[in-house]
Structure 1
Amino acid sequence: MSGYAIVDVDEDESTGDLQFKTFLPNSPAGPAEREVREVPYSPFNIAYYQVYFDVDTGTVLKRVVRALVPQGGFIEDACDGQVDLYGPFWTLTTLILILYTTSTLTSSLQAYRAGESVIANIPLLSTATSLIYIYGLGVPAALWAGTRWLGVAEWAPAEALGIYGYAMAAYVPVSLLCLIPYTIARWVFVGLGAAASGFFLITNILPVISQEHKWARLLVIAVGVLHAGVAIAMKILFYSYAVAGKVDGGDVTEPAERMVRALLQ
């Protein structure tokens, strides 16, 4: 039995409208010409959140580098008006792991020099996770809700999460530089990181806030003060390790460290 069949086609049926289309990702048309589907909003619709994670590693790295050179217009210029959530979550998680790794490394070196056994400090990991995720995810969510409730700004929650997430990228190189066992150098590095990320936050949040609103200036000040407080907390918790048997910072950081840890537990 033959595997071919003859199909009759009417002569008046034109094949001019028939076009061959490819749905391969490597199509010559490129990603810029893909059609974006309009997905109705629903907090339980997974397809709605897909667009916020539809980015590749190269795009995320470019946005991280762009965030390290703080200036305004991040969402419009670097993100082309469409911010992602993969990059911010990846940045925050990377920062948590680096904070824990560098702190554990310095503690292990101290224990080795003192002839003591090395013990994994798991509570330090939970402290880093609580501090970074609360500030990088909880604070922008609360800021977005507060600005919408007060009628100060009109922006999407993903934009707030994206700005805060990418702003924390500055602390990744700071964590590595703070391995240097000099107190003044660490304070300088933390200060520079806080200034760079804080400037990034202010220059990208300020344009979306109505300058004529009575709460606008107070919100900007609150953002700056809270950001500085988190930087100081990171310095106390993760960058005040012991050197040659002596805790860097002396008795000043020990009670402050206990207080910060108590707040995060």
Structure 2
Amino acid sequence: MTNLQEVPTDELLNFQDFPSVHSSGSNTTIPISQTQITINDVKGDMNANENLRGAGDGPVSDGTGNPPEKAFWTLEYYQKFFDVDTSDVAERIMASITPKWDNTLKRHLREKPDLYGPFWISVTLIFSIAISGNIANYLQHSASEYQWKYDFHMVSIAATTIFLYVILVPFILWALLKYSISPVEDIEGIDDELTTGVLEIICVYGYSLFIYIPISILWFIQINLLQWGLLLFGTFVSGSVLLLTLTPALRLSKHKFLISIGIILFHLLLAAGFMLHFFHGSNDIPAIVPVTSHPHPTQALVLAVANASKS
């Protein structure tokens, strides 16, 4: 058995020149040139191959593995706010009608706010108020001598009011919170609580309106005590959800008491406006046209011409 000779490790990692091997028979001569392979060369080749494979697959990342942020005026920027499942929306709706200190809506507001739920809740509330308001209008004048007609202006009025409330009020609240935060230093985790964005406030305001959908359906019942009771109940539930969800930002404001009162007051005014205009004050709606026995001017002219021809 031949003794094995120990070879240095450096020599094993490098190619070396060896003399040409000549042998008889079918053996061939194999020339070996001197070549040195380093780890950096291998890494460079691997990175080049990865770049070639990734070309054309999508947007170039910013070096951290995440795609670059889109501009806020592009549709791609708002796609992430509509990327939610039905289970996520249902869970947030349930949280919007069950006020709790550590509720699900507050947790999702920080993790992944969405605009899908607030948009469809607002649209549903618009048509719910318009349909129920016309039913209430019909019931109020069913026994009188009036010809009832559907009032389509209710849809436009409700849409303008709701979308202005869901968009404009969060912007005002965001500005008040931004410029009324008390100077706080050396408190761990405080920066994360101060960054409540306007889209996050729009999200919680949109979900807080869900309670008014079933309430608007019951408002067509012409009982004043029931209508006012539903109004106060809806304001209490939705207002509590708003305050509990926005508490991390409100407690750092120098005017947190006044801002909290303003949130509840605007929510109460919105609900009272819905009830008084669409369900309780329907006597002033111009869609009710009285029935008259006077002939139409065109019909009177035709009758006059017919009588003149007979004479």
Say yes or no: TM over 0.5. Answer: yes
Residue range with higher mean Cα deviation, 193-202 or 230-239: 230-239
Matches within 5 A, 1:145-184: 145-151=175-181, 153-184=194-225
Matches within 5 A, 1:32-111: 37-72=66-101, 73-78=103-108, 81-111=111-141
Which residue identity is paired with 2:83? D
Tell me the SS of whatever aligns to 1:239. Answer: helix
Distance of aligned partners of 1:136 and 1:58 in 2 relative to their CA distance in 1, 3 Å threshold: same
Give the TM-score taking structure 2 as reference length: 0.61
Offset of residue 127 of structure 1: 1.7
Tell me the SS of whatever aligns to 1:133. Answer: helix
Match of residue 229 from structure 1 = 269
CA contact (8 A) 1:206 1:220 kept: no
Matches within 5 A, 1:12-31: none
Deviations 1:202-228 (A, max 9, x none): 1111222243x4222221121122112
Cα distance in structure 2, aligned partners of 1:156 and 1:121? 38
Cα distance in structure 2, aligned partners of 1:78 and 1:137? 20
Offset of residue 112 of structure 1: 4.1
CA contact (8 A) 2:106 2:245 kept: no
Largest Rg, 1 or 2: 2
Cα distance in structure 2, aligned partners of 1:119 and 1:220? 42
Which residue identity is paired with 1:222? G
Cα distance in structure 2, aligned partners of 1:145 and 1:38? 30
Q: Which runs of 5+ in 2 are unaligned?
A: 1-64, 183-193, 286-311
CA contact (8 A) 2:219 2:279 kept: yes
Give the TM-score taking structure 1 as reference length: 0.71
Cα distance in structure 1, aligned partners of 2:200 and 2:181? 16
**1:239 matched to 2:279:** yes
Number of aligned residue pairs: give it.
213
Which residue identity is paired with 1:237? H
Cα distance in structure 2, aligned partners of 1:154 and 1:82? 14
Cα distance in structure 2, aligned partners of 1:117 and 1:100? 19
Distance of aligned partners of 1:241 and 1:200 in 2 relative to their CA distance in 1, 3 Å threshold: same
Q: Which runs of 5+ in 1 are unaligned?
A: 1-35, 248-253, 258-265
CA contact (8 A) 1:102 1:179 kept: yes
CA RMSD of aligned residues (A): 2.9
% identity of equivalent residues: 25
